[in-house]
Chains A and B, each alone.
Chain A
Amino acid sequence: GNSVTQMEGPVTLSEEAFLTINCTYTATGYPSLFWYVQYPGEGLQLLLKATKADDKGSNKGFEATYRKETTSFHLEKGSVQVSDSAVYFCALSSSNNAGNMLTFGGGTRLMVKP
């Protein structure tokens, strides 16, 4: 079956540091890959997505590249801000008999200190 593994947190960084959150996946077929962000007290929001191999998703300074050869979709940002403090979820969408559903990783909490 499908699965998503992402690095456990919390990840604590100083403002303007470089961020990497690792995500690897197992899936049949050709999944689409997503990063969602959850701010305190809110629901998950789509941060970026990639639908095929070598696609790069980007938004708000965050980037992730769909690497089929390594089955990875690592999230990166060159310079984090305090406002980036949140929980980040990697997810994949793949067809099955029940239709297209999301499989989520366990989430990685990011804490950015001023």
Chain B
Amino acid sequence: DAGVIQSPRHEVTEMGQEVTLRCKPISGHNSLFWYRQTMMRGLELLIYFNNNVPIDDSGMPEDRFSAKMPNASFSTLKIQPSEPRDSAVYFCASRDPQGGNQPQHFGDGTRLSIL
């Protein structure tokens, strides 16, 4: 079975550029989560979708960050304009519809470096 698929695996770009991270959740999962992981702050939840609808975006750090889920099989996280402090590993996770006792399944992440 295919797990959560994220692309790209690595992204290096200059500050000010737009960055788009992509995620394909596990088929049949109806909840999707975007996380950011850094040494300083650990793992932070950025935004959470349920049935393609954003439920909680309180973790999105600034207006430069936006996330969409146009359908059940695809989500994007955009940063525009990007800044060096956005450098981190960004993870996407999905969960099946049976509810909160079910585990989240994580992708392998996108390692983002903003120069």
Contact = CB atoms under 8 A, between A and B. Distances in A.
Interface of A: 32, 34, 36, 41-46, 49, 51, 89, 93-95, 98-102, 104, 106-107
A93 B108 contact: no
A99 B42 contact: no
Interface residues of B, number: 22
A43 B108 contact: yes
Interface of B is mostly: strand
B106 to A, nearest CB: 3
Given A98-B48, A98-B55, A101-B45, A46 B103 contact: yes
B100 A100 contact: yes
B55 A43 contact: no
Interface string B23-63: 00000000101000000001101001010000110000000
Given A43-B106, A43-B109, A94 B56 contact: no
B101 A51 contact: yes
Q: Across chains A and B, which 5 residue pairs bring their CB atoms closest together, nearest first?
A: A100-B100, A43-B106, A98-B56, A46-B103, A44-B106
